[in-house]
Amino acid sequence: MTATPVTAQAEAPTEAEKVLAFWLEEVEPRQWYVADEALDATIRDRFGKLWDRAEEGALGHWLTEPNGALAYIIVTDQFARNIWRDDARAFQLDEQARSVAKLAIDNGWDLEIVPPGRQFFYLPLMHSENLVDQDRAVRLFHERMPEAKDNLLHARAHRKVIREFGRFPFRNAALGRETTDAEREWLEAGGYGAVIKRLKSES
């Protein structure tokens, strides 16, 4: 009796692939930058343990190719802000995300990812409280995603805040930082939203 050959099954998606499929395909772009308790809870339930592993330094094997690096950045820079909203831990892995983003950009990996996914290589720089990183974020959006006018607008707004205060005042509460009088006045006058409106009116 001839044995029936077993049909080879496709490999199960890796954890990095699951991150990209969820964020870039399942979640709609309009959900990426709004506070949504339901989405926060979903990310916390499905990917909270991955954030823990990233914090422990256990996801380094992702950093050998563009998709893995992108997934790492999404976990440490994007999911962190959903999992730990209004908590200092939302920013705890920013330095790691920024280092991986710079490595990926230097390797040209960002150019291997089509927009809109490409933007997530630049957001760790936009989230930095360092003006050099801010300048680079604006330049990257301008040169490598010229069609993404809204991304460029927000990159310019983030840079404007850092130029004025050297940090993001809207993080002060979560990070336990004392808000200065100038920062408080800025926040009460509309804060980041007012910066966006001003830049739109100037364009």
pLDDT digits (tens, 9 = 90+) for 102-113: 999 999 999 999
Q: Are residues 78 and 58 in the same domain?
A: yes
Q: How confident is the model at residue 62 (pLDDT cuts 50, 70, 90)?
A: very high
Residue 140 shares a structural domain with residue 198 = yes
Considering the entire predicted model, what is its pTM?
0.93
Provide the residue range defining the domain that includes 78. Answer: 14-120
In a domain, residue 154? The reply is yes
Same domain for 28 and 100? yes
Which of 73, 101, 120 is the last residue in one of the domains? 120
CATH number of the domain to which 168 belongs: 1.25.40.10
The answer to whether residues 132 and 51 belong to one domain is no
What does the chain look like in DSSP terms, one character per residue?
A: -PPPPPPPPPPPPPHHHHHHHIIIIIS-GGGTTS--HHHHHHHHHHHHHHHHHHHTT--GGGTTSHHHHHHHHIIIIIIHHHHTTTSGGGGTTHHHHHHHHHHHHHTTGGGGS-TTGGGGGTHHHHT-S-HHHHHHHHHHHHHH-TT-HHHHHHHHHHHHHHHHHSS-GGGHHHHTPPPPHHHHHHHHTTHHHHHHHHHHHH-
For the segment 121-147, what is each residue's pLDDT rounded down to a tens digit?
999 999 999 999 999 999 999 999 999
Assigned domain for 5 exists = no
The mean of the pLDDT values for the chain is 94
